[in-house]
Amino acid sequence: MTKKTDLKYFAYLEGGISIIINTVLFALKMWAGISTRSISIIADAWHTLSDSLTSIIVIFGVKLSHKPADKEHPFGHGRIEVIASLFIGTFLLSVGFRLLLMSITNFKNGNHPDYNIFAIAVVIVSIIMKELIARFSMWAGEKCDSKSLKAEAWHHRSDALSSVIVLIGIFLGPYFWWIDGLIGILISFFLFYVTYQIIRDSSNSLIGTKVPDALYADVLRIAKNVVSEEIYIHHLHLHDYGGHNELIFHIALAPDMKLSAAHEIADKIEKNIHDELEINTTIHIDPLELNLK
């Protein structure tokens, strides 16, 4: 399978599994939360349901991002997947604020839940299932270099960790009446931190960042393997389009070199970069003397 086919396959598989499992867990947690009057379990239930909704966003984001390039979008639709991860981050942010308000209200009212074996079992099962899904999503995201799948993995893991906090609160509840509300507040702040990471990474991809030093070193090495003469590389710009990357940079060659020879060197460097790094490259040629002033 090609890299794009892998991404669609894993996105659909992960999304389908996530929607089914999270919907079931949401129903169980909501049942447990209502029956025990626990705001932390109810908050955790809504957090779980948000995973189902973001999985739907991931599926449609990946599907749309694989539309071929057209006249209006010559670089394809790959950045739709990045936009999808921004939606996930925004949704997490709204969930976090909602949980924070619910938890503060519960804390002020002094609500004391009445936990039972069913609630404990539901939370434990949720922790195990959500961590397994998180590990699969992260593995798939790394394999396909998918920002939305990686964001989805953090969403699953945040749910698993929030359930761990809820479980701790269940056992501490009989000794501290305020623990349920406090746990809800802690879960909301954890969501804020995860949201920050997701939105930061996605925004950097859209805005553009400095070319990594490792990539610069690879490009310089590839260029020096092609050119026997002295060469100078500068003004590197990397554009991430989700499905592929476009690299633009200048090379300085001897000023007395024939245009045809310089063009051949640029073509060969572009081809070698594409073959080794899977990056499409456009090279601008300068006379070397201009870059030594």
pLDDT of residue 128 exceeding 60, the answer is: yes
Where is pLDDT greater, at 97 or 203?
97
Q: What's the predicted TM-score (pTM) here?
A: 0.60
Domains plus CATH for the chain? Answer: 3-207 (1.20.1510.10), 213-291 (3.30.70.1350)
Q: Select the highest-mean-pLDDT range: 81-95, 121-135, 214-228.
A: 121-135
pLDDT at 244: 66
Q: How far is CA 221 from CA 40, 177, 213, 285, in A?
A: 55, 63, 12, 17
Residue 213 buriedness (CB in 10 A; 0-12 / 13-18 / 19+)? exposed
pLDDT at 290: 54
Confidence of residue 1 (pLDDT cuts 50, 70, 90): very low
Determine phi and psi for 113, rounding to 5 degrees. Answer: -70, 160
Indicate the range of 12-21, 104-113, 218-227 predicted with least confidence. Answer: 104-113
Confidence of residue 124 (pLDDT cuts 50, 70, 90): very high
State the maximum Cα–Cα separation within the chain, in Å, rounded to a whole number.
85
